[in-house]
Structure 1
Amino acid sequence: MKRRAVLLSALLMSSAAWVAAQNAWPARPITMIVPFPPGGLADLVARPVAEAMSRDLGQAVVIENKAGAGGGIGMGLAAKARPDGYTVLMALSSLTVIPEADTLLGRPPMFALGDLRPIARFTADPTVLAVRADAPWKTVQQFVEDAKKRPGAINYGSSGNYGTMHVPMEILSQNAGVKMTHVPFTGAGPAVVALLGGQIDAVSSGPATVLQHIKAGKIRVLAHWGSAPLGALPDAPSLKDAGYNAEYAQWSGLFIPKDTPEPIAQRLRAAAKFAAQDSKVREVILNAGSPVLYQDATDFEKYVQTDARRMADVVKRIGKLE
């Protein structure tokens, strides 16, 4: 009887300590993993969002860029992190592609989609087909016709195999019946630098990543993968308008490890909403070329599941890449 009382007392003390730990959260800085190098969409969104969340939570939210494998390395680290609320992930839409690609390639998955819990979507932009301003193509039709005449001669950069810059180019290639050479980099920033330096001919990128170079007259946009005019680039035609059935949206969103305690998950959800509604955050992201298109956790989870089903079909059509 005495032993049972001791065990019960220990259990109550443990429960009380757990509750106290939840109530004290956050007691130290939070790490926001960005699975790409600086300069890409995930990083451009993460920095103002982290600053706003820091203000709301009363603790610093610190960016850690963990690039590699088209974002898979950083996403895998976040999925396997301790579910205590001190690690969050700013992911792009490649999150829904990488597990499918791993399965296709017959290798152990870096993470499973179910390992991560959606908290908030911040942006959802069609990618744009960007070339240097001195490139010979003035229209996407000229670009495609040249690719048809010279199979494999035109090369394009990406953030890695099956990533958010690779998938839309494969969608266009399949629809237009052309072959181009894919050159993977560690992220959008390095790929755009390679474009500016003449190492590659084109990229499919989120508008925010290339807008400053467009304004500086260094990059030209031939088309975009959307279905409506882009606010930042109203004169850019859609691929659908140009006669190609190619659509793709690059979204950014916040995720946490799936077993994060519910009170902490809800507090992070509130902080993410605060950031999405913050005027400074909206201004910074809009000036970069991507308006905030916020979705709360419930709607974002449905959006992610729908996107994952669509991307599974796209990955199968791309096939196995070495």
Structure 2
Amino acid sequence: MTDIFHLIESGLEACLGRRELLRRALAVGALAMPAYATAQSDYPSKPIRIVVPVAPGFATDYLARLIAENLRVKMNATFVVENRASGAAGNVGSEYAARAQPDGYTLLFASPGPLSINKFLYPKLGFDPADFVPISLVASAQNVLVVRANSPFKTLGEIIEHAKARPGALSYASGGAGTTQHLAVEMLKSQAGLDILHIPYKGSAAAMSGFIQGQADFFVAELGNSMPFIRDGRVRAIAIGSVKRVSSLPDVPTMAETLPSFTTSAWYGLVAPPKTPPAIAVKLSAAIAEVMKQSDVEAKLQGMSILPIGSTPAEMAKFIQEESVRWGKLIRSAKIAVD
């Protein structure tokens, strides 16, 4: 279990402590002390664009706008969210941000795809995710495994047992090849030794709709997006992807209670174009950490079953590297490809 997952579950300050958080921030800032002084006094002096590589209405977009509004107040600066969606898993908007001037006035707010997964799926990306300058791991959304209300399956263990007894008989929905929903089940299949059919859709909404209509046996989706369907009884949650059980569904066990150490979540982070001065990343990171501790922000995220984080640049860099290793190994071994 990586350190950052403990941060996600327990909160950044509780795990690091105030002194350790300050030490890490100063260590990163020391990499460019002359630039740090300039950034502290002059940055930001003009509007900052936050590029979101998906269409409005998705969790990534909502979080970016929530962060932008609160950073506006915190830093006394203008933040503008710019959606650049293309349907190519966030690659177009991410490439646009990667080619922007490295001055801190264009940033990218993205989920795992562009930052740690897509490079293993698309052979000709127009950017290298490793070149982005990490700013902050902002928030995490736990995944939940759901079945329809009339499904005979009551536990993850029953699904595993059925899949082992009847290879290829079960199917699962996802929002598309290479999404965290897809990879979560592929990781499940790999760890449990299962043969389950993948039914990809064009987006999470279409996947949920097809799944509810009976086109797949189960669906691993973000908890926040699934809660309305859980509450109205159309689907039943049988396992949570978090390390610990969640307060909104206290009777639903974690996946790790069946498969030790198995976790699955979506996460969201802010990065800057390659060669952006580290001092700028440190200043933004510190502001985001304060924003994520605000009670009003926490309340809004809790309503979406999203956990605020607010990490340092160094912690985000370490986490993305670990995620890249994790998903790269799975994608290669499972021979996952996109159309």
Determine whether 1:59 maps to 2:75: no
Change (3 A) 1:230 1:111: farther
TM-score by length of 1: 0.79
Instruction: Give the Cα separation in 2 of the matches to 1:158 and 1:69.
Output: 16
AA aligned to 1:101 is L
Instruction: Give the Cα separation in 2 of the matches to 1:139 and 1:25.
Output: 51
Determine whether 1:247 maps to 2:272: no
- Aligned partners of 2:95 and 2:127 also within 8 Å: yes
Instruction: Give the Cα separation in 2 of the matches to 1:92 and 1:99.
Output: 14
Q: CA deviation at 1:254?
A: 1.1
Output the aligned Cα RMSD. 2.9
Equivalent of 2:61 in 34, 43, 50: 43
Show the counterpart of 1:218: 234
Show the counterpart of 2:298: 282
AA aligned to 1:53 is L
Equivalent of 1:97 in 117, 121, 145: 117
Equivalent of 1:86 in 85, 101, 105: 105
Instruction: Give the Cα separation in 2 of the matches to 1:98 and 1:314.
Output: 13
CA offset digits 1:188-247 (Å, max 9, x no partner): 344334434544443222222222322232322121233322233222212232246633
Change (3 A) 1:216 1:50: farther
Ranges in structure 2 where 5+ consecutive residues have no aligned partner: 1-37
- When the two structures are aligned, how many residues end up with a matched partner? 298
Q: CA deviation at 1:150?
A: 5.2
AA aligned to 1:204 is V
Deviates more, 1:242-251 or 1:304-313: 242-251
Determine whether 1:318 maps to 2:334: yes
1:6-155 map, 5 Å:
23=42, 25-28=44-47, 30-38=48-56, 40-57=58-75, 58-64=77-83, 66-94=85-113, 95-102=115-122, 107-148=123-164, 151-155=167-171
TM-score by length of 2: 0.76
Instruction: Give the Cα separation in 1 of the matches to 2:189 and 2:337.
Output: 15
In our comparison, the structure showing a higher alpha carbon Rg is 1
SS in 2 for 1:131: strand
Q: CA deviation at 1:37?
A: 4.1
AA aligned to 1:51 is E
Q: CA deviation at 1:284?
A: 0.8
Change (3 A) 1:201 1:89: farther
Show the counterpart of 1:227: 243
Instruction: Give the Cα separation in 2 of the matches to 1:299 and 1:147.
Output: 38
- Aligned partners of 1:54 and 1:60 also within 8 Å: yes
